[in-house]
Chains A and B, each alone.
Chain A
Amino acid sequence: MADSPEQIKKSIKTYTIIGLVLFLFTGITVAVATVPALDIGVHGFDVWDMILGLLIASFKATLVGYVFMHLNHEKKAIYWIFFGSMVFFAFMIALIMSAKSDPIHFNGFNFGLPF
């Protein structure tokens, strides 16, 4: 690794700041979900709460990946591997969901069974 002690010392500061930002956003996501005054959309849980919650989570996850997991200076092969798996995950969830949301409306045969 090419990390010199000076760079490491510098990044320790970064890690602390990122840790604090993560704490802050955890607080925000809980506050938005539990304090009625901060409700967005309708009263109670709705799709906006979901989108906001997932956005904050994705932001936090990006910070962890980018800084703590050193994805900000990583080899190309690792991007290929990791983001490749993300692509397949995206395919999986997207295709499963679209299969679910596109059903044939079919009432079934009735064989004269009691159920």
Chain B
Amino acid sequence: MSAHAATADHSHHDDHGHHHEPGFLQKYVFSTDHKTIGIQYGITAMLFLLFGFYLMMVMRWSIAYPHEPLPGWMSWVFTDTWKARWLSDGKVTGDTYNMFGAMHGTIMVFLGVVPLGFGAFGNYVTPLQIGAVDMAFPKLNMLSYWIYLVGGLVMCASFFMESGAAKSGWTNYSPLAGFADGQIVNQWLAGQTQWLLGLVLLITSSLLGSVNFITTIINLRARGMTWMRLPFFVWAMLVTGFLLLLAFPPLEAAGIMQLADRVFHSSFFMPSGLFTKSEGLVELSGGGSPLLFQHLFWFLGHPEVYVLLLPAIACVAEIIPANTRRPLWGYKSMVYGVIVLGFLSFIVWAHHMYLTGMGPKISTWFQITTVLISVPSVILLTALMISLWGGSIRFTPAMTWACAFIPMFGIGGLTGLPLAFNLVDLHLHDTYYVIGHFHYVVAPGILFGLFAGVHHWYPKITGRYMSKTLNHMHFWPTLICMNFLFFPMLVQGMAGFHRRWYNGGDAYLAKAADSTNVFGQTVAQHIDLNITMSWAAWIMAAFQIPFIVNVFLSLFAGKKVGSDNPWNATTLEWATPTPPGHGNFTFDVATYRGPYEYSQPGAEKDYLPQWEKPATTAPADAPTQAPAAH
């Protein structure tokens, strides 16, 4: 690395005098700076999350009060024409519910959580933590964001089209997804087709992103930043990058084939002799296989779970040592754990497909690998939990979220174990139990981790702390509501509530078809939980307002940070000016020790930053000037 003439210049737009001052567009919109791109990802992803949340609120109304018109406080978002098209006497119809359900899943997974975890935090923090000036390919990084945005908008634009948005679930199974919106003459303008186009764009975006991340981590590490000195966050990003790189392409193949099925009437996923109510014997060549789609989809689908999870667990792994003032317990086993996790996640996918007629041999294989993958997951979680032991915990806002992450994610993980077993899964498949399980993982688990990340790095991004009071107004109600929302789902699921009932089991009861399951439970016993869960969801929505206010208000009114390292943390991102300028570091950065050296015996401070030169042994290539310790 060419040595920058290092002047400890803390001005905000440190360009080393090489470049012109970039214009507004170049600086904030079409920026190639990884930090700006990270913030762009973050804001966009949070807007998508909000939209996905809203779709869920409407769905919850349909489940709790299927016979009553959507109330004004929820339906004001729609235009009157839209309401007339998609609501029947103001009630949510099955079609609309399916549309919202499919898009809720898609938005939350592909447009919300992945871009927030990998795109936003990954982009902002990774280069800082390894001491790089930027990503290896800044222009590619920018392209990645814009392709993601276009892909997301293409998917969501279909809400306003004649066909409506995609309606075949976020898994988009053929043959249903092959037919949906088939009545639209120009297939390119059908929601189901746009979903596929959007997906292909999103995959392209994450491909560019992952190539960039991995290259950056391999080649742009600062001097002295050996593999075992990488913060766990960077390791998690590396593994996530590989998951995106290798698991997404088969889905891209499936997406292209499904696109051909829809637009060119091929039969990749269409079996022979397909018969539908509206079309009779379908005029297609047939000979394809719907199961093939499921295989290709879940080949992505399962690694995708870890793409969601790893950034969140990575945030938590940074926050816990900084706030317990103790080293991360079992750093090495966590690193090996996350690598094994990444590897195993590729060979467990068919546990989503136990009900497709797999034979006993192959489903045994997938049961074994699925149970095996819980081992590294438990290693990660246990290491985080033990890290708390005996620490002098500072309950900063970030730490409250991180602490809540552990039990919430734990519930999510443990409720998944029964689903790994074929026989139990036969009973639980497609019930609310499954919904409850993976929402525990994603909502109170992963999202809590990401909220923690927002609070942790906000001072670095803006130079101000987020408000503690507003955080408490956000955190506690959210924690309580989450549990009121998702725990009843587990109960309902075991009683046999099907996940696709748009009216929450109401029509099932109206047919007087209620019978007990093997445990003697009936649907009628648990149907009132629908109302509890829906109110929990709506109340939780209200309590997101403090967070939104907090993010914007703290920009101006938050308490200013006293130093560049407000949490007294050890990793390299805290060695940069606040906020970091273009090029990140103002001194020639080098690393001298592992990432989590807190409370080291014999040290004068309770933390030893990675960039601080040890007093005794001076390496030959020591930096010319270290920043003044604040």
> Do A and B interact directly, with beta carbons closer than 8 Å?
yes
Chain A residues within 8 Å of B291, by CB: 99-100
Residue of B nearest to A85 (CB): B246
Binary interface encoding of chain B residues 234-247 relative to chain A, with 1 for a CB under 8 A from any of its CBs, else 0: 00000000100010
Chain A residues within 8 Å of B154, by CB: none
Chain A residues within 8 Å of B360, by CB: 102, 104
Expressed in whole angstroms, the Cα–Cα distance for A92 and B218 within the complex equals: 27
Do the beta carbons of A99 and B295 come within 8 Å of each other? yes
Expressed in whole angstroms, the Cα–Cα distance for A85 and B218 within the complex equals: 17
Smallest Cβ distance from A47 to chain B, in angstroms?
Answer: 21
Do the beta carbons of B246 and A102 come within 8 Å of each other? no
Binary interface encoding of chain A residues 70-108 relative to chain B, with 1 for a CB under 8 A from any of its CBs, else 0: 000000010000001100100110011011101110100
Expressed in whole angstroms, the Cα–Cα distance for A85 and B365 within the complex equals: 21
A contact face: mostly helix, strand, loop, or mixed:
helix
Cβ-based interface call for A109 (8 A): no
Do the beta carbons of B358 and A102 come within 8 Å of each other? yes
Expressed in whole angstroms, the Cα–Cα distance for A88 and B361 within the complex equals: 21
Most buried by B among A85, A91, A102, A106: A102
Smallest Cβ distance from B338 to chain A, in angstroms?
Answer: 16
The answer to whether A103 and B359 touch (CB under 8 A), given A77-B218, A88-B246, A92-B250, is yes
Do the beta carbons of B295 and A96 come within 8 Å of each other? yes
The answer to whether A88 and B218 touch (CB under 8 A), given A102-B361, A104-B358, is no
Chain B residues within 8 Å of A88, by CB: 246, 346
Total A-B Cβ pairs within 8 A = 43
Expressed in whole angstroms, the Cα–Cα distance for A96 and B275 within the complex equals: 27
The answer to whether A104 and B347 touch (CB under 8 A), given A85-B246, A99-B295, is no
Most buried by A among B250, B291, B353, B357: B357
Cβ-based interface call for A115 (8 A): yes
Do the beta carbons of A103 and B250 come within 8 Å of each other? no
Do the beta carbons of A99 and B218 come within 8 Å of each other? no
Chain B residues within 8 Å of A92, by CB: 250, 299, 346
The answer to whether A99 and B358 touch (CB under 8 A), given A77-B218, A92-B250, is yes
Name B343-381 residues within 8 Å CB distance of A: 346-347, 349-350, 353, 357-362, 365
Q: Quick one: which of B346, B353, B362 contacts A98, CB cutoff 8 A?
A: B362
The answer to whether A99 and B250 touch (CB under 8 A), given A77-B218, A104-B357, is no
Do the beta carbons of B357 and A106 come within 8 Å of each other? yes
Do the beta carbons of B295 and A115 come within 8 Å of each other? no
Q: Quick one: which of B218, B349, B357 contacts A103, CB cutoff 8 A?
A: B357
Residue of A nearest to B369 (CB): A95
Chain B residues within 8 Å of A106, by CB: 357
Smallest Cβ distance from A81 to chain B, in angstroms?
Answer: 8
Expressed in whole angstroms, the Cα–Cα distance for A85 and B359 within the complex equals: 27
Binary interface encoding of chain B residues 528-565 relative to chain A, with 1 for a CB under 8 A from any of its CBs, else 0: 00000000000000000000000000000000000000
Q: How large is the interface on A (under 10, 10 to 19, 20 to 34, 35 or more residues)?
A: 10 to 19
Residue of A nearest to B358 (CB): A99
Do the beta carbons of A102 and B346 come within 8 Å of each other? no
Expressed in whole angstroms, the Cα–Cα distance for A63 and B226 within the complex equals: 35
Chain A residues within 8 Å of B358, by CB: 99, 102-104
Q: Quick one: which of A77, A84, A96, A102 contacts B359, CB cutoff 8 A?
A: A102
Expressed in whole angstroms, the Cα–Cα distance for A106 and B359 within the complex equals: 11
Chain A residues within 8 Å of B275, by CB: 115
Chain A residues within 8 Å of B292, by CB: 96
Chain B residues within 8 Å of A103, by CB: 357-359
Name B78-94 residues within 8 Å CB distance of A: none
Do the beta carbons of B299 and A99 come within 8 Å of each other? no
Smallest Cβ distance from B591 to chain A, in angstroms?
Answer: 20
Q: Quick one: which of A84, A91, A115 contacts B347, CB cutoff 8 A?
A: A91
Expressed in whole angstroms, the Cα–Cα distance for A96 and B254 within the complex equals: 14
Residue of A nearest to B364 (CB): A102
Expressed in whole angstroms, the Cα–Cα distance for A16 and B566 within the complex equals: 63
Chain A residues within 8 Å of B299, by CB: 92
Chain A residues within 8 Å of B347, by CB: 91, 95
Chain B residues within 8 Å of A85, by CB: 246
Name B282-330 residues within 8 Å CB distance of A: 291-292, 295, 299
Smallest Cβ distance from A101 to chain B, in angstroms?
Answer: 8
Chain A residues within 8 Å of B346, by CB: 88, 91-92
Expressed in whole angstroms, the Cα–Cα distance for A88 and B349 within the complex equals: 13
Chain B residues within 8 Å of A100, by CB: 291
Smallest Cβ distance from B7 to chain A, in angstroms?
Answer: 35
Smallest Cβ distance from B79 to chain A, in angstroms?
Answer: 41
Name B245-302 residues within 8 Å CB distance of A: 246, 250, 273, 275, 291-292, 295, 299
Do the beta carbons of B246 and A99 come within 8 Å of each other? no
Smallest Cβ distance from A34 to chain B, in angstroms?
Answer: 26
Expressed in whole angstroms, the Cα–Cα distance for A100 and B350 within the complex equals: 12
Residue of A nearest to B247 (CB): A88
Smallest Cβ distance from B564 to chain A, in angstroms?
Answer: 34
Do the beta carbons of B359 and A104 come within 8 Å of each other? yes
Chain A residues within 8 Å of B242, by CB: 84
Smallest Cβ distance from B248 to chain A, in angstroms?
Answer: 12
Smallest Cβ distance from B364 to chain A, in angstroms?
Answer: 10
Chain A residues within 8 Å of B350, by CB: 95, 99
Expressed in whole angstroms, the Cα–Cα distance for A84 and B242 within the complex equals: 10
Chain A residues within 8 Å of B353, by CB: 99
Chain A residues within 8 Å of B357, by CB: 103-104, 106
Residue of A nearest to B348 (CB): A95
Binary interface encoding of chain B residues 164-189 relative to chain A, with 1 for a CB under 8 A from any of its CBs, else 0: 00000000000000000000000000
Residue of A nearest to B219 (CB): A77
Chain A residues within 8 Å of B250, by CB: 92
Residue of A nearest to B242 (CB): A84
Smallest Cβ distance from B424 to chain A, in angstroms?
Answer: 17
Most buried by B among A85, A100, A106: A100
Expressed in whole angstroms, the Cα–Cα distance for A84 and B350 within the complex equals: 21
Chain B residues within 8 Å of A91, by CB: 346-347
User: 11 more A-B contacts (CB under 8 A) besides A91-B347, A99-B291?
Assistant: A77-B218, A88-B346, A92-B250, A95-B347, A95-B365, A98-B365, A99-B358, A102-B360, A102-B362, A104-B359, A115-B275
Q: Can you list 25 A-B pairs, Cβ within 8 angstroms, ordered by A?
A: A77-B218, A84-B246, A91-B347, A92-B250, A92-B346, A95-B349, A95-B350, A96-B292, A98-B361, A98-B362, A98-B365, A99-B291, A99-B295, A99-B350, A99-B353, A99-B358, A102-B358, A102-B359, A102-B360, A102-B361, A103-B357, A103-B359, A104-B358, A104-B360, A106-B357
Q: Which 3 A-B pairs have the closest CB atoms?
A: A102-B359, A102-B362, A115-B275
